[in-house]
Every structure is written in C-alpha cells, then in structure tokens.
Amino acid sequence: MFSGWNWVAHGFYLLLNICTLEVSGGLVQSCGHIIPESPVLALGSNFTALCILNESCLDFGNIYANQIIWKIKNKVVPKEQYREINRTVSSVTFNDTSSLATPLTCNILADGQIEQNIYGIAVTIGLPPEKPKNLSCIVRQVSKLTFPMTCTWNPGRHTFLDTHFRLKYRWPQENFPDCIPKDVNNSCTIADVQFFVNLELWVEAANALGKAESDPLVFDPVEIVKPLPPHNLSVNSGILPTVLKLSWENLISGAVMKLKFNIRYRTVGDTNWMRVPPEDTASTRTSFSVQGLRPYTEYVFSIRCMKEDGVGYWSDWSEEKTGITTEDKPSKGPPVWRIIDASRSPASWTVHLMWKALEPFEANGVILQYEVTVRAKSSLSNPPEKYNVNTTNLTLKLPNGTYEVTVIARNRVGASPPSVLLIPATNSKAPVKNVRTLPKDGKLWVGWTAPNSYVLKYVIEWCLVSNSSDCIIEWQNEPGNAQGTYLKGDIKPFKCYLITVYPLYADGQGSGQSVKAYLQQDRPSKGPTVQTKKVGKAEAVLTWNHLTVDEQNGFIRSYTIFYKTIDGNETAVTVDPSKTEYTLSSLTSDTLYTVRMMAYTDEGGRSGPDFTFTTQKFGKGEIEAIVVPVCLAFLLIVLLGVLFCFNKRDLIKKHIWPIVPDPSKSNIAQWSPQVPAKHNFSSKDQMYPEGSFTDVSVVEIEADDKKSFSEQDLKPFDLLKKEKSTSEGHSSGIGGSSCMSSPRQSVSDSDEGETTQNTSSTVQYSTVVLNGYRDQTPVQVFSRSESTQPLLDSEERSEDHTGGGDSTTQRQQYFKQNGGQDETNTDKPCFERTKQITSANEGDLVGFAQLQISGQGSQPLGLGLEKNTQEAALPDILQTSIEGQTMRPETVEGNPPSADEMPKSYLPQTVRQGGYMPQ
C-alpha cells in the first residue's frame, strides 16, 4: 500500500515540476537550488548545505522552507541536522562526511502531503595527495650512445580523487618540460640525459583538495648508469689442464666511463656458481684467464660490468659460454675392495677384487685401463702377478695367505697413484663396536664406535636383502678418523639392507660387524598364514612360517594370534616374533575354532587369512583308558573259559566228541555164527598174522548181476541170506542190523552235498571173510560198516564180555555197504536190499568184497572195474570159493578206472594191520 502511494507521489511530483517551470531566456528553472553545487569534500570533515527556494514558487505553490526534507540516497536525514534560516532557506549539517553519500537532495511536502524533489547535488569525498617519497632514478644503457633515465617514486595513499603526478627537472640555469607519466602514477622516463652536469628533479602531485611535492634530487646522471653486459664472450683452453681463457667486448666507451668486471663459473650439471675474486678483475679489460680449474672438466662462464669506482649499477650477466679443460693424469687411485669365497676349498680362496670408477674430477680424463698387481706377502722372492683389465672387477683363485693388491688407473696423460689393499690370512685385528643406523633427511646414516688402535680407513659394505634377488654388494671408503657417515648409494624405502663395517689397519684388518636397517618402514604386505600342527581335546599347536624379507617392509616386532568360536568373543595372544609355533590351551573339546594371525612392525600390522580347526572329542589317553580295560577283561574271560574247558574236557568231549569204539578191540572178533572159533585172538598179532592180508574193501554186488552166475556159483551166498534173516530178529549188539534205522547213504553217492551228514551218529562196520587156504579153517575179520547203531559200553571193555559171550557169539551180522543206490532205495525193506548180495556156501565163510592185493606198487582190484574185467574175474573167484580155496589175485596192471567206472562203495573202507582206518 505504501509503495503504491509512493508511485502516486512521484507522479504528482513530476507533474508539479512541469507546471512550475518558468521559461526565461530559454532555460528551464526549478523552484529552488542547493549550494554549494557539486562539492568535493575531504573525508571526515564538516559540511553544511543550503537549500534556497525561489520567491515565485512561494506564491504559486504556497511552499515554505519549513516544509523541506533532506535525503541521502533516498534516505531521510534526521531533522536534528536541519536548520531553517528563513522562510526560503533551509540548511543541513554533517559533522563527519564519511557517512555522506551521493546524491544529496532537497525535497518539499506540498498540499496533500505529497513529497516533491526540489533539487539535488553530487557530493565527492576524498583525500588530498600526500608528498611523494623514495624518488630514485637510473640511467639504463640501451645502445652504445643512448642512455635514457627512468625515475620512480612512492605516490602515497589512495586519495579517492583524480590525482595528477608530474616529474619536474632542470639544470641550474635551464628548465625542461615536465615528464608526465603514462598509465601509471609512480614512474616516468626521460628520453635522454647528459652526463657530467648536475640535474635537479622532483615530483608534484595535485587533486581537487590540494597539491604536494617531493624532496628534490640533485645528481650527475653518469653516477647512476647501468651499462650493457659485455658481449661476444668466448672460452678457450689454455696450455695448462687447470686454466681456461675468457675474451669479450665492452659496449660502453672508455672515454665515457671506465669499467670493472665480475666473472662467475660452474661445472656442467652443477647449480652452484663460483666466482673469480673481485680484486682480480677491478680494472678495465677485455680478457681474463681463470685458473685452479679441474682437468678434463667442462665449465660454464658468465661476466658482468659496472663503473670502475663502484658508483652506479652492475650490468646484467652476459650470456653463458662453456669450455673444457685439457686432460691430466688421474689425481688418485681407484678405491679397491674384495669379497673372499673360501667355501669351495679350504686350501684356496676365490677372491673377487672390485674397485670403483674414479669421479671425473679424479680421473682427469678418459681411463683407458686398470693395472692390477697381486703380491704374496709370505713369499717375497716370487715375482708379483700383473693383470691389465678394462673393467672394474677381477676374480682370482689364490692359495690361503696374506696378499697385497695394488690397482692403478691409466689415461692418455699418465697413471694414477696406486691404491693398495692388504688381504690378510685372518681378520685378527680389533673390530669396530656398536654399529647402529639412523634414517635422517631421506638418507641412511651409519655410526660405529672406533677401536682403540689406529685405523687407516673404514670400509662400509651394504647390500639389499631380498628373496627374489642376490645380495649385490655396494661399498664405500671412509677416513680413519670418521665414526659415522651417510650411505652414498640409492637407498630405497621399505627395503632391508645388511650393513657391515670393516676397520682397515696398516698391517691387517678387523672382522666386519653387521647390522640390518631400513630407511623407512611400513606395515607388512601380508599377514602370516597359520596352520595346526597338532590338535587335542583342550589344546592346539599352531605353526606358521616367517614372512619373507620382501613381505615384511620393516622389522617384525610381534605376532598376535586371534582365535574365537563361531558365537564366542575373540581372544588375542601376543607371541614373540622369533617363534614359529604356539600352543593354544584351555580350549573347549569338540568345538570349531577360527584363528588368524597379525604381524606388526613399527608402522602397524596386517592380518593373515582365517583358518578353522575343530578340537577333538577325547583327549590323549582317554580312548586307551577305555579300550585297554575292556580288552584285558575280554582276555581274562577267554582265559577263564579256556581253563574251564580244560578242566571239564572229559565232559565236553563226551557231549561234543563221543568216543568211537575201535572195532579191532571189540569182542565180536572172537566169535562167528555157525562157525566155531578155532583161533585165539588174544593179540593183534594172532588176530592179524603178518602176511595174511593188508587192505580190505567192501564189494557191492547188485542183485541184477545174479543172472551172470550159475546156480552152483551162487550157493556160497545162501549162508549170508540165512544169517541176515536171523539178524533181522536179533538186531542188537555190535553186529546188529541197521534195518531198525534209516540206512545211511554211502559217501560215494553222487550227491556229494550230503556226504558228511549224520557221521557223528553212525558207526560203520562191514564183514570180511577170507576162505581158508587149502581146506584150512577161515578167519573172520570185521571192518567198519555203515551202521547207525552205536556200540555198547560193555563192548568197549573186554572185561564186560566174560559172562555173556556165548549168546553174542551165536549171532553174526553182515552188513552191506549201501553204495551206488538211489535215494529211493533207502525206503525199501532191509530184506530186499540184502537180497542184492548172493549168499555163500554154508560150510564156507563167503566174504566177497573188493580185494586189494598188498605189495609194492599194488593197485586196487575189484568188481567195480570195467565190464570185461568183472566178467573174467568174478567166475574165477566164485569157482575158487566153491572148491574151498582162497585166491589171491595178482596185481592187475593197466590204467586205473575212471571216476564213472569206480565201484560204488564207501571209500576208503580199509583195514590196516593192528587197527582200522577211520573215515
């Protein structure tokens, strides 16, 4: 709302101005004005302005001085600063013009309280100029005859006003036009001056607030000349190798002024300048010979000049020129050192001689070759060995001993002084002590404590220790009075160096003392990799390898092992850096642990990879403590069982292994049914007279084979029928029939899988009858048969048969070996199976069985042979039996029968002399 009324007021103000204008003589006049008009005021001074109204405006607009309002940049000045002088004049006063700004306007409130601008002025505030100071002038030579002069001064403070400077100068009797600066306010150049006349000059500064002048200067311009530098400088070699001659031209005439010179020089590549003494060049000249230079060295030269009496200014340095001195013989011999390898042979050395190339200022030219002389100190009569080499090393194989090595460097001019190295047989002299290192200013400082003896010089030997490269030895010599030095080689940070200090004496050397050092350390490149060497129930042995030198980046100060369970807190253990093994204790059994390891240097540490392991469930000896007692208890039980079985062996044998009676000891051998016993079998010798028979087998004759025999031939088998019928009703005793029990299948049966069944419950017997020889009474012998009826206990003992032998001897049982029959035959009655055997003559004991003739090389002969053999042999045997003769068939020679042609009998069914052959 307020801003809207302002716009209205400004519009009315413009309209009022237009209406109140009076045209007089073609000029537009306002209703008033301000005095002073556009004042320039000093900063901080008092100021009063008056606003005067015109009389014509008073009558027309009814305007008076009490209605005037003063403003600074549209900001109303406080009314306390107003003063109404009369009805047409109003003043405003400012005690400090630093707060005053432009424009300053005079305004009036017309009818309706409309503000109208009457007049305005621009106020300029500044400072008066200060007195110029430090006025100085210099005459700069620009050509051989032109000498302009430039003067400079200090203009003083900033005035905030337009200030003008003028350089005024004059001769004592003549004034010159002012020199007005261009684009600057602190210097001005006079085009040309005259020498040998005093000149007065000063500086004037002026602005709207005042004027100021500097102090005047009076001088002869020749005293402030800065000449041009000498030109056409040249450098030439002199006769001597340490001298160079310089030549040049001066650009200022000697008639104008006399000059003196400065000469500076340096070697190429160096930044430090050397100067010829000023007194040597304090007079006018155009050449000079510089002496004391190094031979065969390239130098850079420059020259300048000034007024001889030293008044004025030095010229700029001339352009640089280079020159090189001539060669001279080397100033010193090359430093020499050695490395001795005595590991290959204890009686000889491999000596590696090495020396440093001379510095250019020492070589004084191009080194053409080195002359090496090796002399054995133990045998001075032998001539020394000399070698000429172009390199800085030489390898020799020498016997153990003391040697003196001399090295000389030679250039075009001559030879250097010899460098001598003594190689003693042993390093028996005193060594240095307390070798130490210190990084300092980007270099590695090495210090030591000198021995008490006089030392000729020291040799500091060092090499970079690395797993990826060999230790390449570098070395340097230091004087005998030194106790510390900086290594001069290229020492790298984060690398390990092996530093060794040797003291050299006039008659030998001391052993080297070594120390490892780093120029700068860092934390390791990687951490150690930890593994388990042994894991127990509550402990684990951890092992690791030391970090390589390239991975350490500093001295390893400690190791820290961190281990934890999956959900447990991490535990830290600090380990000595020399260790490679540590045992963690107080662990939980059967638990998974995670372990890692950190290596620390002075700059920090780095962790290795994580490793997991699981502790054992049982500790050492716990399993043994369980297993050993169990095993001992088991062994004790077994031992007790064995002892029990041994004590009860008879009982166990009776239940598990029943006693099988020996048929040879049975009383059945003492009787024979229907045949009186004519022999006394009191002993086995009588029972089995030697030579009667040896081997007996049972012969099985099938019933179907009867048709091949005549009725007369089959009569001898009738007795067997009768005895069999008698035994059917009396099947008891040893010779009892097996008809009361299931007959046992022969082991020769085709069913081999059942050959071993029921053998423990079956007593097998058979009857063998031999015919008497030439009408002699035959002897009846029993062999084992396939009877399931066990023997009686009374029959096992002869004393039990004394009373009942008569009834027993009345009976005799004959048994047939049930071989070669089908399993269906086992269901037939015993009588039918007995019919398969033909009865013998009642007067004779018929015992056809498979006869096996004893004798050397005898082979079995029986009815189970091939068919032609059976047909030929069986009638003869039967015929012989009828006639009461016993036949002993001879051994049948020929191939033995095959498996299919063997007799189907229980084998081996044999009787040996004095006993029986068990199954």
pLDDT, position 64:
80
- Measured N-to-C along each axis, helices 622-647 and 649-656 cross at an angle, to the nearest 10 degrees, of 80
| Burial class of residue 206, CB neighbours in 10 A (0-12, 13-18, 19+) | middle
Give 188's strand partners.
Answer: 151
Residue pointed to by tokens 């951490």:
527
The token duo for 94 is 């400012």
pLDDT, position 655:
78
Q: If residue 134 lies in a helix (H) or strand (E), which one and from where to where? A: strand 133-140
More confident residue, 11 or 600: 600
- Report whether 243 contacts 220 (CB < 8 A): no
In this structure, how many other beta carbons lie within 10 angstroms of the beta carbon of residue 826? Answer: 13
Q: How far apart are CA 540 and CA 536, in angstroms?
A: 6
The token duo for 215 is 């102090």
Q: How far apart are CA 523 and CA 607, in angstroms?
A: 10
Q: Please give the DSSP secondary-structure letter assigned to residue 56.
A: H
- Report whether 906 contacts 816 (CB < 8 A): no
The residues, any chain, with a CB within 8 Å of residue 579's CB and separated by 6 or more, are 559
| Burial class of residue 632, CB neighbours in 10 A (0-12, 13-18, 19+) | exposed
Q: How far apart are CA 267 and CA 273, in angstroms?
A: 8
- Taking alpha carbons only, the member of 133, 197, 131, 187 closest to residue 159 is 131
- Report whether 299 contacts 268 (CB < 8 A): yes
Q: How far apart are CA 828 and CA 825, in angstroms?
A: 5
- Report whether 426 contacts 403 (CB < 8 A): no
Torsional sign, CA 837, 843, 847, 852: negative
Residue 851 reports pLDDT greater than 50: no
Residue 308 reports pLDDT greater than 70: yes
Residue 344 binned pLDDT confidence (cut-offs 50, 70, 90) = low
pLDDT tens, position by position, 546-586: 999 999 999 999 999 999 998 888 999 999 999 999 999 99
Least confident of 167-176, 723-732, 792-801, 839-848: 839-848
Give 231's strand partners.
Answer: 249
Residue 381 binned pLDDT confidence (cut-offs 50, 70, 90) = low
pLDDT tens, position by position, 789-804: 454 444 444 444 444 4
The residues, any chain, with a CB within 8 Å of residue 96's CB and separated by 6 or more, are 44, 45, 46
The residues, any chain, with a CB within 8 Å of residue 348's CB and separated by 6 or more, are 342, 397, 398, 399, 400
- Report whether 251 contacts 219 (CB < 8 A): no
In this structure, how many other beta carbons lie within 10 angstroms of the beta carbon of residue 662? Answer: 13
3-state secondary structure of 630: helix
Q: Please give the DSSP secondary-structure letter assigned to residue 223.
A: G
Q: Please give the DSSP secondary-structure letter assigned to residue 799.
A: G
In this structure, how many other beta carbons lie within 10 angstroms of the beta carbon of residue 332? Answer: 15
Please measure the distance between the N-terminal and C-terminal CA atoms of the chain and give it in whole angstroms: 147
Mean pLDDT of 56-66: 73
Residue pointed to by tokens 């008497």:
772
Q: Chain centroid to CA 746: how far?
A: 83
The token duo for 158 is 């900033």
pLDDT tens, position by position, 596-649: 999 999 999 999 999 999 999 887 777 888 888 899 999 999 999 889 888 888
Mean pLDDT of 138-155: 93
φ, ψ (nearest 5 deg) of residue 408: -125, 135
Cis peptide before 36 (omega within 30 of 0): yes
Q: How far apart are CA 222 and CA 255, in angstroms?
A: 12
pLDDT, position 658:
74
In SS3 terms, 693-724 reads as CCEECCCCCCHHHHHHCCHHHHHHHHHHHHHH
- The DSSP line for 535-590 is E-SS-EEEEE-PPPHHHHSS---EEEEEEEESSS--EEEEE-TT-SEEEE-SPPTT
Q: How far apart are CA 919 and CA 152, in angstroms?
A: 151
Q: How far apart are CA 332 and CA 415, in angstroms?
A: 9
- Report whether 16 contacts 115 (CB < 8 A): no
Cis peptide before 230 (omega within 30 of 0): no
The residues, any chain, with a CB within 8 Å of residue 331's CB and separated by 6 or more, are 361, 362, 364, 416, 417
Q: Please give the DSSP secondary-structure letter assigned to residue 334.
A: P
More confident residue, 891 or 618: 618
φ, ψ (nearest 5 deg) of residue 67: -95, 0
- Taking alpha carbons only, the member of 846, 897, 847, 844 closest to residue 870 is 897
Highest mean pLDDT: which range of 244-258, 653-667, 677-691? 244-258
- Report whether 414 contacts 329 (CB < 8 A): yes
φ, ψ (nearest 5 deg) of residue 60: -75, -45
pLDDT, position 839:
38
The token duo for 471 is 């230790």
Bin 38: left if φ > 0, else alpha if -120 < ψ < 50, else beta: left
- Report whether 534 contacts 540 (CB < 8 A): yes
Residue 256 binned pLDDT confidence (cut-offs 50, 70, 90) = confident
What is the C-alpha R_g of the chain? 74
3-state secondary structure of 379: coil
Q: How far apart are CA 183 and CA 379, in angstroms?
A: 93
Residue 353 reports pLDDT greater than 50: yes
- Report whether 299 contacts 330 (CB < 8 A): no
Residue 663 reports pLDDT greater than 90: no
Cis peptide before 790 (omega within 30 of 0): no
Identity (one letter) of the amino acid at 650? D
Residue 668 binned pLDDT confidence (cut-offs 50, 70, 90) = low
Q: Please give the DSSP secondary-structure letter assigned to residue 57.
A: H
pLDDT, position 792:
46
Identity (one letter) of the amino acid at 92? V
pLDDT tens, position by position, 90-141: 999 999 888 888 899 998 877 657 788 889 999 999 999 999 999 999 999 9
3-state secondary structure of 127: coil
Q: How far apart are CA 904 and CA 700, in angstroms?
A: 7
φ, ψ (nearest 5 deg) of residue 701: -115, 120
In this structure, how many other beta carbons lie within 10 angstroms of the beta carbon of residue 123? Answer: 20
The residues, any chain, with a CB within 8 Å of residue 658's CB and separated by 6 or more, are 760, 790
Residue 864 binned pLDDT confidence (cut-offs 50, 70, 90) = very low
pLDDT, position 763:
44
pLDDT, position 863:
31
The token duo for 389 is 């080499």
pLDDT, position 914:
45
pLDDT, position 399:
87
The residues, any chain, with a CB within 8 Å of residue 156's CB and separated by 6 or more, are 129, 130, 131, 132, 133, 205, 212
User: Cα–Cα–Cα angle for 62, 66, 69, nearest 5°?
Assistant: 105
The residues, any chain, with a CB within 8 Å of residue 906's CB and separated by 6 or more, are 698, 746, 747, 748, 764, 786, 817, 819
